[in-house]
Structure formats: C-alpha cells, structure tokens
Amino acid sequence: MPRPLTFTLLLVALVTACAEQPVTPIASRPKTTVIAAPSSGVDRWLSQYGEVKVMGRDEIVTALLATGRPSNSQQFYYFGLLNQELTTLSNWTLARDAFRQIQDDTELSPEQRELASILERYNQTRLNDYERQDSLQSQQDSTQSKLDNALEENALLKQKIQAITDLETSISTREGEGVL
C-alpha cells in the first residue's frame, strides 16, 4: 500500500479512536510501559550501511576477503555494501549484481527488497555515469587532437603566407629598382 494512503488511513483511525474514547484524568489512568518493537530487517540493514560507510578502504578490503562469496540475502547485502564503497567499475558491478540478487528473495520484507532496489539503481547509475564520463573524455581527447592539428596547420599556413608575402615584396622591390 502506498505510504500516503497508509498514513491517511492511520490518521483517520487514530482520530476516530480518539473521538470515541472518553477523556480520563491523568491521575486515574493506569501506568503503561512502552515495549520497543524488535528491530526490523531494514533497520538492521540501514545500521549496517552506516557502519560500512565509515570504514576505511583497507578495512573494506579485509572484510571482503573475510566474507568470501555470499550465499544468502544478508551476505549478499553486506557484500554489496562493501563493494559499492570501493572505487572501481568491477566493484560497482559486483555491488549492483548483489543487490539485484536480493530483490528475488521473497522471504525478505518489501522494505528490504525496496532498499536493495534503490542500492542496485544507485550502483547502476554510477556505472552509467562512468561510461558517459569515459565517452565524453574520449570525445574531448579526439577534439583536442583535432584542434592541435588545426593549430599546426594554421601555423604552417601563416609561415607560407609570410614567405609568399616576403617573395612578393622582394619581387616588387626588384621591379622598382629595375633589376628584373
């Protein structure tokens, strides 16, 4: 169910429940204890995301070596987090593929699968951006090479024009002196 609709239904239920309940003075209310809900899978994943985010490169490489090849969704998630923090295309590809693998696990909560989907798209975007950057760099290098060649040709043309101008000046000077 979409969040706005869920929120609206919850709000309507809360307002309805409050309207039906008589107001009890504070002194006569029974004491209640709040029991914290167990941490959901997505909360654990977000906590793990924060832990990996502050790790240094060496720690990440060490953790990746210790992790090995993942075999369940939790391991794929951790594997993906570690790989996305490194700065190579192959690591981003591994991260994207790990998060893609998680989305097929029906035992995970919808929120966990959505988080995996977001992280997959993030890594795919990084790969696409790198490819686009690489393509633009190639275009810039090609254009710079063409510009350098054009500048060299321009300098040669200027030299030729100057040589022709000098020759014409020399010819007209000789004609003026009657040497020719």
More confident residue, 40 or 34: 40
| pLDDT (tens digit per residue) in 71-89 | 999 999 999 999 999 989 9
Query: What CA–CA distances, in Å, run from 141 to 69, 130, 134, 145, 167?
Result: 39, 16, 10, 6, 39
Residue 118's closest CA among 46, 68, 52?
Answer: 46
**Tokens linked to 81:** 């987090």
pLDDT tens string 87-143: 899 999 999 999 999 988 889 999 999 999 999 999 999 999 999 998 898 899 999
- At 150, the pLDDT band (50, 70, 90 cuts) reads very high
User: Could you read off the pLDDT of 2-11 as tens digits, one per residue?
Assistant: 565 565 555 5
